[in-house]
Amino acid sequence: MQLRTFLLTLFAAFLVAMSSFSQTETRFGATDFEVEIPNFFIDGIESSGALICTDLQKLESRGNLVSVVVNGNRETLEFKNGRAEIHMVFDRPEPLSIKAEGFAFVREIDPIPLWMSIIPPLLVIGLALITKEVISSLLFGVFIGAGITGHYGFEGSFLSGFFRIIDTYVVQALADPDHAAVILFSVMIGGVVAVVSKNGGMKGVVEVVSRKATDAKKGQFATWFLGIAIFFDDYANTLVVGNTMRPLTDRLKISREKLSYIVDSTAAPVAAIALITTWIGAELGYIDDALDTIRTSGSEVAQSSYAIFLGSLEYAYYPIFCLGFIFFLIWKNKDFGPMYKAEKAARLGNGSKQSTETGAVDLSEFEPEPGTKPNPWWAIIPISIIVLGTVFGLLYTGWDQAVWDDTSTGIGKKLSMTIGNSDSYVALLWASLSGLFSAVVVSLASKTLSLSQSIESAIDGFKSMVGAMAILILAWSLAAVTDDLHTADFLAGLVAGNVAHWLIPGLTFLISAIVAFSTGSSWGTMAIVYPLMLPLAWEIGLQVDLESGALMGLFLNVTSCVLSGAVLGDHCSPISDTTILSSLATKCDHIAHVRTQLPYALTVGVVALVFTTLSGLFNLPWFIGIPSGLAILFGVVHFLGKEVPLADE
């Protein structure tokens, strides 16, 4: 009996020992986990980290469930492939503590105050206003933002931000496949512009149109038409149309001021809204970055950046109104303000023909090779291939047979859905490469350029885009900085409850116009304002619980307002690149050009602001807003304008 009791006791002890041994084996130790957390935290903003288990066998024995304590709060984490997410929020300096049985992790956290997120973009805007130079302003803003993350991060050094400019933000901007596509597309379009200028194609287009101009009215219409026809680049538009039409408009007694105005006020508006231009790549890049920011915050936007660009055109009031306003002035043969005085003096033979030269502009890039006979087809063929190639690429990459087999859907909706599903970057790359190749082939076949001349011209065109690409890359970098610092969350917190959501488009329009007026750069303005206002508009729309259609309408309106405001400010600014180029290309006194254009730009700008605001308030459809605005501008010309004599009357 005693032996039996002894054996039972020994067996029980054995079971206890085995149980303890098993528990010891499955208990996690100090080296069984690794912690992955962000380099820095933002005050009040939830951040995600990860707990990574290095002993998958122990983890599997627990059913992939582990009880952990994060900053005193116990929770059970479910691991997938040895990894479990941890969500943390810090609103003051405190340690981050993570404990899991024998494992412990402690790290001091000093979150970045959310208000600091506005410092980089504000510095960029302020420096741009003071220095009138965008690239250095963007570079400094990226440095300050990176420095803030370095100071509050685990590096603990503000100066580490200097190196993060290049090894983090610029590298990330260049490594993004979509960004690379934008850069390639833009430089190839620059190459096409240079080649069709050198082979005489662009000048041929101008000459064909100018032959129809036999009086002042027809001469202005010819200039306006050419300003729209050369839609693919605002610089090429300004320099080619201005220089080519100047002798004709002088002969027809059209004032240099009016010529400068038509040239300047068709160049940027048409380049901003045309489907294939040197602007479109940058615009899509900014929109795409905003969509990435929105998606990072947990929202889903089904449309592509190109579909959003197309949708935003119905709110592009200023560019459309600007082109219509010029048409009305020419059609009614009326002007008002300083422009009327300049036009009347020119008709009477008293207009000034000489400019006050404030600088020189290199036109060699747009001048045909000596001895080249201009032919419009040398430009029409490559540009047509680009346009048609883009359309084909959009349809090909977005084609869904099920959509087109659906008999309940209209053709317009099917096209919209197809373009929305397309890969716009691929389409643009295909089209621009085809256009450049065809421009070279046409030049060789027509014997206007040799192969070496064609290649040199294309390379010159590539070089012409370097400045724009520098702005674009730094703008992407600044967008990444503001995304890291959650600038949109800070702005949304300021605006929410203080500014009605329907005022956001008008506010965006005014901000863009002020920045563009002060900096003289439409591209620089887009680079500064797009990363701020697009995520903000989406966040505000979510906060006021807009339904999906109204939310997308607000987003499209703000998308268009950045561009429209940038063009308005560019037209009003005496330091704008296209304003200066217009004066130089037409040999008009620069101050006279600014003085005569300003009342017209502001008139159109006020009407555009009104309809922008009305669209935000009532979600005004384009078929009401655009015709109504044009009707008002027609009334302004009809009632305020004075008829200008067509000859020496």
Q: What is the CATH number of the domain that holds 64?
A: 2.60.40.10
For residue 118, what pLDDT is reported? 83
d(CA 454, CA 465): 17
The per-residue pLDDT for range 533-566, each reduced to its tens digit, is 888 888 888 888 888 888 888 999 999 999 999 9
For residue 24, what pLDDT is reported? 46
Q: How confident is the model at residue 244 (pLDDT cuts 50, 70, 90)?
A: low
| Residues 611 and 548 reside in one and the same domain | yes
| Residues 430 and 568 reside in one and the same domain | yes
Length of the chain: 649
Domain residue limits at 168: 115-175
| Residues 107 and 123 reside in one and the same domain | no
For residue 497, what pLDDT is reported? 62
For residue 73, what pLDDT is reported? 87
Q: How confident is the model at residue 264 (pLDDT cuts 50, 70, 90)?
A: very high
User: Would 280 be classed as within a structural domain?
Assistant: yes
For residue 350, what pLDDT is reported? 64
The pLDDT of residue 1 is above 70: no
**Residue 324: both structure tokens together:** 């219509």
Q: How confident is the model at residue 230 (pLDDT cuts 50, 70, 90)?
A: confident
At how many degrees (to 10) do helices 487-495 and 522-543 cross? 60
Q: How confident is the model at residue 364 (pLDDT cuts 50, 70, 90)?
A: low
Query: How does strand 65-70 pair with strand 83-88?
Result: unpaired
For residue 376, what pLDDT is reported? 86
| Residues 77 and 156 reside in one and the same domain | no
User: DSSP per residue over 147-164, as a string?
Assistant: HHHHHHSTT--TTHHHHH
For residue 633, what pLDDT is reported? 97
Are 383 and 435 contacting, i.e. CB atoms less than 8 angstroms apart? yes
Q: How confident is the model at residue 518 (pLDDT cuts 50, 70, 90)?
A: low
For residue 599, what pLDDT is reported? 95
| Residues 163 and 184 reside in one and the same domain | no
The pLDDT of residue 310 is above 80: yes
219 vs 387: which has the higher pLDDT:
219
User: Would 15 be classed as within a structural domain?
Assistant: no
Query: Residue 566 carries which side chain, given as an amino acid letter?
Result: A
User: Would 214 be classed as within a structural domain?
Assistant: yes
Are 612 and 506 contacting, i.e. CB atoms less than 8 angstroms apart? yes
Query: How does strand 83-88 pair with strand 94-100?
Result: unpaired
Interval 113-138 mean pLDDT: 81
For residue 440, what pLDDT is reported? 94
For residue 188, what pLDDT is reported? 85
| Residues 305 and 444 reside in one and the same domain | yes
User: Would 219 be classed as within a structural domain?
Assistant: yes
For residue 397, what pLDDT is reported? 84
The pLDDT of residue 369 is above 80: no
For residue 229, what pLDDT is reported? 81
**The dihedral sign for the CA sequence 475, 480, 486, 489:** positive
Cα 341 to Cα 223, 247, 329, 348, 587, distances in angstroms: 20, 21, 14, 11, 18
User: Taking the mean position of all CA atoms in its chain, how far away is CA 482?
Assistant: 15
The pLDDT of residue 16 is above 70: no
Q: How confident is the model at residue 322 (pLDDT cuts 50, 70, 90)?
A: very high
Interval 80-92 mean pLDDT: 88
243 vs 533: which has the higher pLDDT:
533
For residue 22, what pLDDT is reported? 46
| Residues 138 and 287 reside in one and the same domain | no
| Residues 105 and 146 reside in one and the same domain | no
User: Would 17 be classed as within a structural domain?
Assistant: no
Q: What is the dihedral of CA 420, 421, 427, 428, to 10 degrees?
A: 40
Interval 77-105 mean pLDDT: 88
Question: Residue 112 — φ and ψ, nearest 5°?
Answer: -75, 125
d(CA 280, CA 96): 45
CA angle 508, 512, 515 (to 5 degrees): 140
Q: How confident is the model at residue 255 (pLDDT cuts 50, 70, 90)?
A: very high
- Domain termination site, one of 160, 175, 190: 175
User: Would 24 be classed as within a structural domain?
Assistant: no
| Residues 137 and 194 reside in one and the same domain | no
The per-residue pLDDT for range 168-179, each reduced to its tens digit, is 888 888 888 877
Nearest CA-CA partner of 128 in 521, 566, 562 = 521
Cα 524 to Cα 248, 250, 302, 326, 638, distances in angstroms: 34, 34, 28, 26, 36
Question: Residue 278 — φ and ψ, nearest 5°?
Answer: -70, -10
The pLDDT of residue 21 is above 60: no
The pLDDT of residue 17 is above 80: no
Nearest CA-CA partner of 465 in 563, 562, 365 = 365
The pLDDT of residue 273 is above 50: yes
For residue 179, what pLDDT is reported? 79
For residue 329, what pLDDT is reported? 96
Per DSSP, 118 falls in state: G
| Residues 568 and 537 reside in one and the same domain | yes
Q: How confident is the model at residue 26 (pLDDT cuts 50, 70, 90)?
A: low
Nearest CA-CA partner of 243 in 584, 570, 575, 593 = 584
Q: How confident is the model at residue 240 (pLDDT cuts 50, 70, 90)?
A: low
The per-residue pLDDT for range 434-476, each reduced to its tens digit, is 989 999 999 999 989 999 999 998 998 888 778 777 877 887 7
The per-residue pLDDT for range 591-628, each reduced to its tens digit, is 888 899 999 999 999 999 999 999 988 888 889 999 99
Q: How confident is the model at residue 586 (pLDDT cuts 50, 70, 90)?
A: confident
The pLDDT of residue 519 is above 70: no
| Residues 525 and 548 reside in one and the same domain | yes
- Domain termination site, one of 175, 207, 224: 175
**What's the domain count of the chain?**
3
- Domain termination site, one of 123, 147, 175: 175
C-alpha gyration radius of the chain: 31
User: Would 1 be classed as within a structural domain?
Assistant: no
The pLDDT of residue 405 is above 90: no
Interval 577-592 mean pLDDT: 77
User: Would 2 be classed as within a structural domain?
Assistant: no
| Residues 55 and 135 reside in one and the same domain | no
Q: Which of 172-186, 275-289, 483-497 has the lowest mean pLDDT?
A: 483-497
